[in-house]
Amino acid sequence: MPLTFNIRHLEKNELHLEGELPVADLELNLHDELVHPSDVLEYDLQVEQIDAAALVQGDLRLDIEYECARCLKRFRRPLELHDWACHLPLTGEDAVEMQSDSVNLTPYIREDILLALPQHPLCEAECSGLKVPASVKEPGESSEKAPSAWDELDKLKLKN
């Protein structure tokens, strides 16, 4: 069931929305094997009407288990959107879509969660990646720098 509010309730005073939304209702459709969200999104939101628009502000929290992009270690870190805000025009050509005077907040929340997810989650900023055991190195292999495609470009003598 999506997260909605009725705009008629805003005519008298603000609304306070608090609770949990099943992640399945967000329809995140994550195709990233490194990101595994928990089952619920926690929300604490205030909704108020300002002229011909609704302003939604509050906090969103989703626990996520990641796999480090460098070392593949699993770690948990909450995705917290503090002071999340969404301005929804209620009239005009940019008006938000309504069904029976209800506005669905789910697409706006989904978009901001997807934008906040890291592209390459790291367990630590200094993560050095997978450790290669000494037994895996070829016999006689030295610790010299491996050749790079940039080495050949560095040899070019270009005229100014």
* CA 100 remoteness from chain centre: 30
Q: What is the pLDDT of residue 84?
A: 94
Q: What is the pLDDT of residue 140?
A: 58
What is the mean predicted confidence (pLDDT) over 20-26? 91
Please choose, from the candidates 81, 16, 86, 69, the residue with its C-alpha nearest in 3D space to the C-alpha of residue 42. 81
The b/e string for 100-118 (b: 16+ C-beta within 10 A; e otherwise) is: eeebebbebbbeebeeebe
| Residue 134 pLDDT greater than 70, yes or no | no
Average pLDDT, the chain: 86
What is the mean predicted confidence (pLDDT) over 79-87? 94
**pTM of the prediction?**
0.76
Q: What is the pLDDT of residue 116?
A: 93
Per residue in 28-70, pLDDT (tens digit) is 888 888 888 988 999 999 999 988 899 999 999 999 999 999 8
| Residue 147 pLDDT greater than 90, yes or no | no
Query: In the chain, where are the structural domains located?
Result: 4-117
Letter for the amino acid at 102? S
The model's confidence at residue 10, banded by pLDDT at 50, 70 and 90, is: confident
Ranges assigned E (strand) in 68-160: 74-89, 98-99, 102-104
